[in-house]
Amino acid sequence: MRVLLIEDDLHTAGFIAKGLREDGHAVDQADNGKDGLFLATTEPYDALVLDRMLPGLDGLTLLQTLRGAGNRTPVLLLTALGEVDHRVEGLRAGADDYLVKPFAYAELSARLDSIARRGSAGGSEPTRLRVADLELDLLSREARRSGKRIELQPREFRLLEYLMRQAERVVTRTMLLEAVWDYHFDPQTNVIDVHISRLRQKIDQGYPKPLLHTVRGAGYRLGA
């Protein structure tokens, strides 16, 4: 999934972002309400993790603005305020779920998957991608080809998800660096070649028809 994390506490934001990326999600971050609202209204996200108390624009106002504009992206609201009245206020403002600090990352991850699943059932982004006989379940984090499970590391999962979302299109190295590694520069390493090679072995080796193709001088293409 592509997740927007809006949290001004650097320690909390770093903790959450690290966990989300290890789970294979693409994460954008904002440390204040105004920047968060700008990203939430100009970029497509599968889910938002939103702190209630933010500088510039508080989380509830941000949320109400999004909902008022018709934005239905699932939102998990984070707060240090755990009283019933506060939870009700957050849910009535448009949050899909509410998590009180401090929390365990595992609970945040489970709640995020849950609201994304509900959002998918409501008609937003798909949670299962398919290219030929290759399938990727974005919620259970499972990849299968011809029904056979493929074990992927988090970065490999994220790489495959991106390639499947761009199926049949040529994907350049710059696109991969930005979307999968969050690099906005060329690190001058062979990190892409190494991961593409590993992924190709896992999804194509032993199958009569390869799906991951190198397009000479351009990049890569996933497709039949």
DSSP for 111-161, please give it. HHHHHHHHHHHTTSS-SEEEETTEEEETTTTEEEETTEEE---HHHHHHHH
As a whole number of angstroms, the distance between CA 92 and CA 46 comes to 21
Strands (E), the chain: 2-6, 26-30, 47-51, 75-79, 97-100, 128-131, 134-137, 142-145, 148-150, 170-171, 212-215, 219-222
Which pLDDT tens digit goes with each residue over 36-95? Answer: 999 999 988 989 999 999 999 999 999 999 988 888 899 999 988 877 788 788 888 889
**Residue 132 to residue 224: CA distance in whole angstroms:** 6
Strand ordering across the sheet containing 170-171: 170-171, 219-222, 212-215
pLDDT grade for 121, boundaries at 50, 70 and 90: low
Half-sphere exposure for 192 (CA within 13 Å, toward CB): 20
What is the pLDDT of the chain when averaged over all its residues? 88
d(CA 143, CA 138): 9
- C-alpha dihedral sign at 117, 123, 125, 131: positive
Residue 130 has pLDDT above 70, yes or no: yes
Kindly list the domain boundaries of the chain, sorted by start residue: 2-120, 128-222
Report the CATH architecture of 2-120: 3-Layer(aba) Sandwich (3.40)
Q: pLDDT band for position 183 (50/70/90)?
A: confident
Q: Do domains 2-120 and 128-222 have the same CATH topology?
A: no
Q: Which of 92, 98, 109 is nearest to 75 (CA)?
A: 98
Enclosing H/E stretch for 224: none
Distances (CA, A) of 220 to 43, 86, 165: 25, 49, 13
CATH assignment, 128-222:
1.10.10.10
Please state the rounded mean pLDDT for residues 114-120: 75
